[in-house]
Structure 1
Amino acid sequence: MSPRKPLAALGAFAISAALAVAAPASGAVAGPPGGTTAGAPGGISVVGDTSPVHDPALTIDDDGTWWVYSTGLLNRENGGTVQMWSSHDDGTTWAYEGTVWDEIPAWIDEHFSDGALPDNLWAPEIYEHDGTYYLYYSASRFGTNNSLTALATNTTLDPDDPDYEWVDQGPVITSPAPIEDGKTFNAIDAGIVTGDDGTPYMAIGSHWYGIFLVEISWPSGKPVEGALENAVHLVDRFAPGNRVEAPYIYERGGWYYLFASFDACCAGADSTYKVVVGRSRSVTGPYLDKEGRNMVGGGGTVLLESNGPVAGPGGQSVHDGVLAFHYYDGANEEIPYFPTLGLHRMAWEDGWPVVDQTLAVPSISAEPDDVEVAAGGRAVFRTQAAGTPRPVITWEVSDDGGATWRAPSGGQPATRGDGSSVLTLRGVTPDLDGLRVRATAQNAAGRTTTEEATLTVR
């Protein structure tokens, strides 16, 4: 048995963006960046810095900023520590914000000094309690359950805040060690949840005997005395390899929903990872699926699985009804099946989460027209696209006859609810004569680019 996590491709590439932003054009873009699916159930199409994201932990700050923390890069690239990403438009456009630390803490290397050292830090979890952010993360000797989950704390998520500092709080839980009834487990993939009586717990585990629930306490964020011996067994497939991991428990409407990942991760197009769910009235279970099968014993209703270019979705977290996960992107033409961020605002039917996995490549329903305008005037380009999930439209301009393209200055205009987008260039100058303009509509199924339009300045 071997845990998931490190993917060889992660160490080979730096952060990739959906659009490279170069020097600004002379014209300004009207309107702030905007998402297309705020509040509506369904897939959220994402653009910007969305790869390589693995095991995303999603949270939303008080100021509305969306944050994702994810597994570090292999071979200690960029230090190998937990990566950070932010969005200011409800999860549509993402920017890479660097890593929590410049290097893996020295005490972790000391812990693993009798053999191979961890290549990177895995599977973060972010949880706020009483004004403190608790960032849990894992380190492991790959292919074994010689693992640990550790903790860092901060009072803010904003790297520009003068009080911003991730303080190392050391180890939280380690394996190999016996857990409930002498079973073995793997101390990775922490997920924090609070019971209805206010007691905090950590769900944890991968392969071996599966997933367990361990009581912790505040403000330490660490297990209470006797927590391992008194752990509750939540998920065990009773199958060779016991491929279950990445627990996340989410409370809604008096039910606790246990999300987990089943099957094989980290094999690109061949990944069979999928997200399953069960529910319970009690945080300690038992968790049953839609058919009434206990998740200790193989139960688990499939919520999200491979579909077309979306291969091996899993490693999930949930925040405010939004399911965050990674998948291997078959629509990525530059690096096929590179791990990328997926987001889906879940619908709920009969007390169960539902996702619509319908995929349709974007199609352009309205091409941008050529525009002629007097110097000092305003040039307006419009386009519209359809697709499922609803695509995001991003614009590009070229002033060298289409040899190179760049994002227009001022940011991207919003993609509207009807799938349209309007690029406005104000106060155009004679040097913009001949500027070429195009737009790309993108979703998880792929991307489609419009015909080029030309600006003529009289």
Structure 2
Amino acid sequence: MTKSRPWAPRALGLAAVFTLALTAAVLPPAAANNQKQASDQKLAEVQKPAGVQKLQADPPGGKTVVGQTSPIHDPALIIDTDGTWYVYSTGLLNRENGGTIQIWSSHDHGTTWGYTGTVWDRIPAWIDEHFSDGELPGNLWAPEITEHDGTYYLYYSASRFGGNNSLTALATNTTLDPTDPDYEWVDQGLVVSSPASGLDPANPGKTFNAIDAGIIEDADGTPYMAIGSFWYGIFLVPMEWPTGKPVEGWQSKTVNIADRFMPGNPIEAPYITKHGGYYYLFVSFDSCCRGADSTYKVAVGRSTSVKGPYLDKDGRDMFGGGGSVVFDSHGAITGPGGQSVFGDYMAFHYYDGSNQDIPYFPTLGVQKIDWVDGWPAFDQTVERPAVQKQPKALATDAGKKAAFSATATGTPGPVAVWETSSDGGASWQVVAAQPVTKRTDEGTYSSTLQFGVVSTEQDGLMVRAVFQNAHGKVTTDAVGLSVK
């Protein structure tokens, strides 16, 4: 029996919105490119340094992210030693921008995100040679990023739609900072490919789909790679440092750790993380990439051994249909999955029902895990932002300071993005230096936009704040600044 995805691959990029018809109101490619360029410019303004501001610790639950957060699919999260957050994601379809792994970064604790670029400007030639007997991969999929002994290991996949003729490959770097003179992603070639043989002497036909790698070390520092998508489910491959590749004879040492044993076997995106005395296997159940009809959800099991067995909350083995669903569609978040975990944060993609321009566009989501009784818990409360305190118009003298404040409620906690207009509200520009949105003791969220020294040239300037979370946004009243 062939087990393969009944949908387009998880490599969903900007162009996939058109080919997969995630919305009936599709944009022509030229319009999409123009929109992306405008978004890039707008985000660049938001991402300018705002000076040193004290950031509050995130409470468990959803973390609102703003800026450029789409199209992001299969996000691999890592927080660098300098505090910069990075997400690596599936490349754009049809080799747009080269089709290689995309990079996104945040310099304010994962709140405001900007597009950083791609790992390479083209897919490596050896991958095209690997698939030279037929259709070439249109992009690279499902990255994983990890660090060992000063080297960053970036795993990624290439495949063809509808089958398991797939591979996972590796690139390495000594820094994640694109401005570092030593920054260079070095192609290290093939890690594993499928179909693979020799995984189970009792079942010579057993194999996996060599995509969706996730790296975990056991208590002794031995690395393993969780991998698999549909087919016979999730496998654990023994690896070694410093190559970052499988040990010799890995096929006979590989363990099949999760299989739903149901038609199609819809399980993929394995990610193992250690917390307390347990290893936790996160997977995505069911179908992604169908826009509003996506049924993706995150399930989990745990084990005291990295090799399993991984049991769910009810004691059911994930190799046999177990797996406790801990994160599912809610509010404007449809089909969450493709997850990775770094520390207490889970990054995932979802299809954004609140995006009015392109409904159900693939978007970055972040949740801070709440560990409850030894299990990961996620707040799925839905509350759209609502303004509680409007900003007030202000009149002042030139050379003075000016400040506008606004407060809102919502769950997850909304973030304010301030905008100004110098043409009476006909057009609005995002303020370059965004203030931090702070959580108050009353459970509201407050933001204050400050102008250090105003001038008469700012007379008549209009100001407003847009509070947003994953489920929607609300705009405050537009108020004026009078300067004499």
Offset from partner CA, 1:104-133 (integer Å, 9 cap, x none): 000000000000000100000001000000
1:60 corresponds to which residue?
79
1:151 to 158, 162, 170: 170
Structure 1 position 248 matched with structure 2 position 271: yes
Could you tell me how far 1:35 is from its partner in structure 2?
5.8
1:2 corresponds to which residue?
4
Could you tell me how far 1:148 is from its partner in structure 2?
0.1
The alpha-carbon distance between structure 1 residues 17 and 315, as it changes in their structure 2 partners (threshold 3 A), is: farther
1:49 corresponds to which residue?
68
Q: Which amino acid aligns with 1:83?
A: Q
2:361 to 338, 357, 361: 338
Offset from partner CA, 1:30-66 (integer Å, 9 cap, x none): 7557766x34211110001100000000000000000
The alpha-carbon distance between structure 1 residues 350 and 96, as it changes in their structure 2 partners (threshold 3 A), is: same
The alpha-carbon distance between structure 1 residues 338 and 30, as it changes in their structure 2 partners (threshold 3 A), is: closer
Could you tell me how far 1:436 is from its partner in structure 2?
0.5
Distance 1:342 1:24 in 2: 22
Q: Which amino acid aligns with 1:456?
A: S
Structure 1 position 436 matched with structure 2 position 436: no
The alpha-carbon distance between structure 1 residues 102 and 22, as it changes in their structure 2 partners (threshold 3 A), is: closer
Structure 1 position 21 matched with structure 2 position 42: yes
Q: Are the counterparts in 1 of residues 43 and 67 from structure 2 also a CA contact under 8 Å?
A: no
Offset from partner CA, 1:198-219 (integer Å, 9 cap, x none): 2110000000000000001011
* Identical positions, percent: 63
Structure 1 position 450 matched with structure 2 position 476: yes
Distance 2:449 2:85 in 1: 25
Deviates more, 1:114-123 or 1:221-230: 221-230
2:377 to 354, 358, 371: 354
2:243 corresponds to which residue?
220
Could you tell me how far 1:29 is from its partner in structure 2?
10
Q: Are the counterparts in 2 of residues 44 and 389 from structure 1 also a CA contact under 8 Å?
A: yes
Could you tell me how far 1:2 is from its partner in structure 2?
2.9
Distance 1:291 1:375 in 2: 67
Deviates more, 1:8-17 or 1:299-308: 8-17
2:435 corresponds to which residue?
413
The alpha-carbon distance between structure 1 residues 133 and 22, as it changes in their structure 2 partners (threshold 3 A), is: closer
Offset from partner CA, 1:395-422 (integer Å, 9 cap, x none): 000001111111224x101101221111
The alpha-carbon distance between structure 1 residues 277 and 93, as it changes in their structure 2 partners (threshold 3 A), is: same
Alignment of structure 1 residues 252-263 onto 2, 5 Å: 252-263=275-286
1:404 to 427, 435, 449: 427
Distance 1:406 1:93 in 2: 16
2:194 corresponds to which residue?
175
The alpha-carbon distance between structure 1 residues 450 and 241, as it changes in their structure 2 partners (threshold 3 A), is: same
Q: Are the counterparts in 2 of residues 145 and 186 from structure 1 also a CA contact under 8 Å?
A: yes
Q: Are the counterparts in 2 of residues 34 and 89 from structure 1 also a CA contact under 8 Å?
A: no
The alignment partner of 2:98 has SS state of helix
Structure 1 position 115 matched with structure 2 position 123: no
Distance 2:97 2:391 in 1: 41
The alpha-carbon distance between structure 1 residues 211 and 30, as it changes in their structure 2 partners (threshold 3 A), is: closer
1:69 corresponds to which residue?
88
Structure with higher RCO (Cα < 8 A, 6+ apart): 1
2:399 to 376, 383, 408: 376
1:423 to 413, 430, 449: 449
Could you tell me how far 1:185 is from its partner in structure 2?
1.0
The alignment partner of 2:430 has SS state of coil
Question: Number of residues paired by the alignment?
Answer: 454
Q: Which amino acid aligns with 2:411?
A: T
Offset from partner CA, 1:258-305 (integer Å, 9 cap, x none): 000000010001000000000000000000000000001110000111
Q: Which amino acid aligns with 2:10?
A: K
Distance 2:288 2:431 in 1: 38
1:311 corresponds to which residue?
334
Distance 2:38 2:319 in 1: 41
Any stretches of 5+ residues in structure 2 without a counterpart?
A: 20-28
Q: Are the counterparts in 1 of residues 332 and 353 from structure 2 also a CA contact under 8 Å?
A: yes
1:193 to 216, 229, 240: 216
Structure 1 position 139 matched with structure 2 position 158: yes
Q: Are the counterparts in 2 of residues 269 and 311 from structure 1 also a CA contact under 8 Å?
A: yes
Could you tell me how far 1:376 is from its partner in structure 2?
1.3
2:182 to 163, 179, 201: 163
Q: Which amino acid aligns with 2:4?
A: S
1:184 corresponds to which residue?
207
Could you tell me how far 1:196 is from its partner in structure 2?
1.1
Could you tell me how far 1:143 is from its partner in structure 2?
0.8
Offset from partner CA, 1:65-105 (integer Å, 9 cap, x none): 00000000000000000000001111100010000000000
Could you tell me how far 1:426 is from its partner in structure 2?
2.3
The alpha-carbon distance between structure 1 residues 366 and 16, as it changes in their structure 2 partners (threshold 3 A), is: farther
Provide the alpha-carbon RMSD of the alignment.
Answer: 1.9
Q: TM-score, normalised by structure 2?
A: 0.91
Alignment of structure 1 residues 277-288 onto 2, 5 Å: 277-288=300-311
The alpha-carbon distance between structure 1 residues 256 and 24, as it changes in their structure 2 partners (threshold 3 A), is: closer
The alignment partner of 1:383 has SS state of strand
Distance 1:388 1:120 in 2: 35
The alpha-carbon distance between structure 1 residues 80 and 110, as it changes in their structure 2 partners (threshold 3 A), is: same
Distance 1:247 1:354 in 2: 18
Q: Are the counterparts in 2 of residues 185 and 205 from structure 1 also a CA contact under 8 Å?
A: yes
Distance 2:266 2:75 in 1: 19
